[in-house]
Amino acid sequence: MNIPKKLLYTSEHEWIRVDGEKGNIGITDYAQHHLGDIVFVELPEVGEEAAMGESIGVIESVKAVATLFSPAGGKVIEVNEELEEAPELLNEDPYGNWIAIIELTDHSDLEKLMSAEAYTEFCKNLE
Amino acid sequence: MIEITNSSHDPCFNLALEEYAVKNWPGSQSYFILWQNQPAVIIGRNQNTIEEINQAYLEEKGIQVVRRMSGGGAVYHDLGNLNFTVVVDENNDFANFEKFTRPVITALKRIGIKAENNGRNDITIKGRKFSGNAQFKFRDRLLHHGTILFDSRLEDMAEALNPSTEKISSKGIKSVRSRVTNISEHLSIPVSVEEFKQILAEEVLRAEDSNHSYQLTDSDLHAVNDLRDNKYSAWAWNYGKSPAYNVRKTHPYPWGNIDIRLDIKRGLISGCRIYGDYFAGGDIEELEKTLIGEVYQEEDIKKCLEQLDLEKYLPHTNKKEFTDLLCR
């Protein structure tokens, strides 16, 4: 299981890569592996605002539909439209392919997220 | 496991109940619902509605189209079809279809029918599908549901799910056609759908301890009815939620050929081009611009055209003919 060091993680298996006021968000290797072949990504709308843990989209795999939650509160400023054409990119490289970029409203949300070490431990307990 | 008593045949209510159950009822408990719908087409979460249905047939028969939370293709429900829903803690059951389809297989075994998982999301008898299954995950809860064709009207199913040969393209999930069968075709002893419901419920509950049944309370009903009225009965969810798509409408009229390209996003016309070899009466771009932003639904298009001097752009047509071309 690939869990990059510099990202922050949620218990819903999303990651966020924070860069100043912005954060790129996506789903983890664990998430893509458990979902199986991803066939559709419903992206949020640019301009949409979401609180931490609020639903911002869905991901459909051959097995199930899972809800995507925002790892932190913010406003969506960009979405990865490539995923509309090629949802399987999330299987191929879940950390290289972000789903959306949000402008963070409250940095203190980030303190509630897991580090790579904590998330590794979290996943271990799920197995 | 808690068995929910639900005798509603309203597809919007029943799908609302599923969402309510997976999002609101306390974790650590498991729930089981057996339910049936009056004739309806239930489309997958990320499907383009008009690409999946025979609109004219559904209108003629008064059959509703309702989008569900789970993924996959379009299915036809009627009172000959039985639906089962199980809501559990997610744990490690995610994508474990066999755990949920096993009671169906054992129930059938009790009435002398051999059924098996087909390795995808279906259960089959002699290689023909009678049950389609799908899952929806929300936080730490998982909803698994499946259809069971007991004695559905398969000819109505074929009609309802036979879209007109319109030229539509989208990234939406396409339905996979399967050879289907009813359980009733394989019975050697007579079993009614009511008797089979009983047997299936016993098999689902067999593996669980401390089972009891639960009647929806007034506050449950209030919340579910709200969800039914505001979401599952609404055009915005059933049609508007369709992934972006393009549709091409062409027709050879005696006065010329017309070719219309529409881009539809979130149910609205976001792009429109009208081509033709007819003699255009006015600047066709004006007409295109008027249509952009309208809800792509017959009523709305009709209203939009009412305020317009259509003959200025297309001298030989009339509003009815043009609306039909755009929307039918």
CB distance from B167 to chain A under 8 Å? no
pLDDT category at B225 given cuts 50, 70, 90 is very high
Residue B210 has pLDDT above 90, yes or no: no
| Residue A63 confidence (pLDDT) | 87
Cβ–Cβ below 8 Å for A66 and B95:
no
| Residue B281 confidence (pLDDT) | 67
The partner residue sitting opposite A42, judged by closest CB among B46, B94, B134, is B46
CB distance from B117 to chain A under 8 Å? no
Residue B118 has pLDDT above 80, yes or no: yes
| Residue B276 confidence (pLDDT) | 85
Distance from CA of A65 to the nearest CA of B (A): 5
Cβ–Cβ below 8 Å for A126 and B139:
no
| Residue B165 confidence (pLDDT) | 66
| Residue B91 confidence (pLDDT) | 74
pLDDT category at B280 given cuts 50, 70, 90 is low
- Which range (B149-153, B162-166, B237-241) has the least confidence? B162-166
Annotate A15-47 with b (16+ C-beta within 10 A) or e (fewer): bbbbeeeebbbbbbbbbbebbeebbbbbbbeee
pLDDT category at B317 given cuts 50, 70, 90 is confident
Residue B64 has pLDDT above 90, yes or no: yes
Residues 6+ apart with CB under 8 A from B177: none
Cβ–Cβ below 8 Å for A63 and B121:
yes
| Average pLDDT for B316-327 | 91
Chain B residues 176-235 within an 8 A CB cutoff of chain A: none
CB distance from B48 to chain A under 8 Å? no
Q: Higher-confidence residue: B27 or B106?
A: B106
Contact in structure between B14 and B6 (CB atoms under 8 Å): yes
What distance in Å separates the CA atoms of residue A52 and residue A14, rounded to the nearest whole number? 12
Distance from CA of A26 to the nearest CA of B (A): 16
Domains and CATH numbers, chain B: 2-238 (3.30.930.10), 245-327 (3.30.390.50)
| Residue B8 confidence (pLDDT) | 97
The partner residue sitting opposite B71, judged by closest CB among A64, A69, A84, is A64
| Residue B92 confidence (pLDDT) | 65
pLDDT digit string (tens) for chain A, length 127 residues: 899 999 999 999 999 999 999 999 999 999 999 999 999 999 999 999 999 999 999 999 998 999 999 999 999 999 999 999 999 999 999 999 999 999 999 999 999 999 999 999 999 988 7
What distance in Å separates the CA atoms of residue B205 and residue A39, rounded to the nearest whole number? 33
CB distance from A66 to chain B under 8 Å? yes
| Residue A28 confidence (pLDDT) | 97
- Which range (A93-102, A111-120, B138-147, B269-278) has the least confidence? B269-278
| Residue B290 confidence (pLDDT) | 94
The tens digit of pLDDT for each residue in B183-199 reads 999 999 999 999 999 99
List Cα–Cα distances, A116 to A11, A89, B58, in angstroms: 12, 22, 52
Residue B279 has pLDDT above 70, yes or no: no
What distance in Å separates the CA atoms of residue B323 and residue B328, rounded to the nearest whole number? 8
The terminus-to-terminus CA distance of chain A in angstroms comes to 12
Contact in structure between A119 and A3 (CB atoms under 8 Å): yes
Enter the ipTM: 0.91
Cβ–Cβ below 8 Å for B71 and A39:
yes
- Judged on CB neighbours under 10 Å (0-12, 13-18, 19+), A90 is buried
Average pLDDT over chain B, rounded to an integer: 93
CB distance from A111 to chain B under 8 Å? no
Of residues B143, B106, B192, the one with CA closest to residue B16: B143
| Average pLDDT for B174-184 | 93
Contact in structure between B127 and B178 (CB atoms under 8 Å): no
Given CATH 2.170.150.20, say whether it is the number of domain A8-110. Answer: no
